[in-house]
Structure 1
Amino acid sequence: MLNLTESNNLSNTSLLSNLKPLNEKALLVQVLVGILLYVNGLMIFTFLKKNVFLEETRYILFAQTLFVDSANMLLTCLTLTGMVIQYPVHIIPCCIICTLLSLLNICTPVTLVAMCLERYVAICMPLRHSSISTPKNTLIVLIVIWAVSFILPLFVLMVFLVYASPVVLRSYVICSLEFMLRVNWLADMRAASLQILFIIMFCIVISTYIKIMTAARSATSENKKSSKGLRTVILHGIQLFLCMLQFIVPYIEMPLWKLDLVLFFNVRYSNYILFVISPRCLSPLIYGLRDKKFCNALKHYAFCGFAVVNRHKIRHVKTVPLEVN
């Protein structure tokens, strides 16, 4: 009969052997994330190099989305890799990382809603667009986005620190958000708050789509511009839906975490691909590749200035609301 030490050694060996396929998946994720980080970094560089993009509210929000998505993918990739290789982290840095991840997870959909509202103003109120989309108002919008995104993660962090014992605060854990949601009422409150936030944002996107569609029917001359705006809002809606589904993922994974660790890692890997990577692939598509002016500037810097682009148009872009193809 095996003693306790021998039994634990056998279970750990079995666990490590079962996690070998996950190490290969983690490597694949790192390659995919590296490609996306390169694309996002190149787009942020393009945004910063052209003053005309710095003056447009839609491009400022787009750049924030790229930054938030890049930081989110980097942190989630690190935490996922740490879980696969079972690397213990001190509980305090783990709490900070999880709080930042929660902040970034909320910031992306809130920014998408702001971008939908900007498209609504540009299409349905074109005469007031220049007076509304000012640098001052854009700064206010950015402050509101970050403030709304920070409220819930900060509250969860404060409650966890209050309820955690000194022994827990000195321990080392495999970093995961589940450690901060062990208080039942806190997990329920967080889930309810995210559901309410999702309903509010989804209603805003739907109403924006309906108003743009109504404007497209009433103004024949603006049909082309409105149809582009409709497609943009639809893509934002899909992106928002995938991002918001990420909020319910921890509550699907938590029972598996206590039941079967290997199954938990497999489910988390699949959720990471579907609800973290997939929606963040849409941001470069919506505003990076579908916008001709931004795409031309992007090609110029991607090929170190050797791409065959109309540089004259890039340097002399008019400061009017730009259209998405």
Structure 2
Amino acid sequence: MADDAAVSALREIAFWLEKQNAPTYRVRAFRRAVAVISELSDLDRRVESGRLTDLDGIGRTTAAVITEAHAGDTPGYLQKLRDEAETPEHGEAVRAALRGDCHAHSDWSDGGSPIAEMAAAARWLGHEWMALTDHSPRLTIARGLSAERLREQLEVVAALNRHMAPFRILTGIEVDILSDGGLDQDEDLLASLDVVVASVHSELRMEAAPMTRRMVAAVRNPHVDVLGHCTGRLVGGRRRPQSTFDAREVFTACRDHDVAVEINSRPDRLDPPRELLGLARDLGCVFSIDSDAHAPGQLDWLDHGCSRAEECGIGPDRIINTRSAEEMSA
């Protein structure tokens, strides 16, 4: 039988590595170790005899973590990661007010972890809810969900919600905004979801006028709740310039149709830029601070968005994910 302390330590290490955006192989080593020891019936004997590394999937580092946790100690590697965790300079009040996350992915599309694992991490972080927003079918590179697969996912979510209550997984999607402003999923399905994030993922260099019409048309759709990473930019190592559009017209449409402008917290996006956040603030928009997480540890990237919100004078009263799950689904 698995040792709860060892499993917990391995999972927390994977979480901190994901938050650091560490190479995938490092994260997988710890998640693989969880799977290995969860199947063991002789963990005590293997720890005592020092034979953990005889197991396929257990290396020296993971064996040391298991051994220390099994003895009741905090593994040194885990403590090191905890000590290295960055404390945000701004945004603590905003972060404390958040009750959930409107944008997260699972291994049903291009995320790396099962729905249950993502939800468990969100609950561990203190969230009351998490919206599951896997991609829509047109984004084939991200294994976007067909209508049939999305319906299957809704059944899985319903079962998990019965098991995880009072924590709640809100049903959702990150739906592609098509070139004509249409949405890449059946209207009846979109109407049944708790949270619909609409994002542009293709033709990002479209000229400003048609891009503006495209985004405004999507925002006017009555099923859309959040306009995701509106400029499409990437920053840091893998750069991509922001799309061009009439931000005033797009944000005015967001305000008039009660669609939140997403403050995307991914370190490689941090979208929209501060000047556009200021414009949306001045126009009276509401916002959603989202992790856009593709792994459990990335759910804690919300700190970045909270810091940017505070810097731009956006308080909790303008942020929709300070609401309860019931308010969000309504």
Ranked by relative contact order (alpha carbons within 8 Å, sequence separation 6 or more), the top structure is 1
Structure that is richer in strand per residue: 2
Q: Same fold (TM over 0.5)?
A: no
Q: Which has the larger radius of gyration?
A: 1
> Per the shorter chain, which TM-score range?
under 0.3
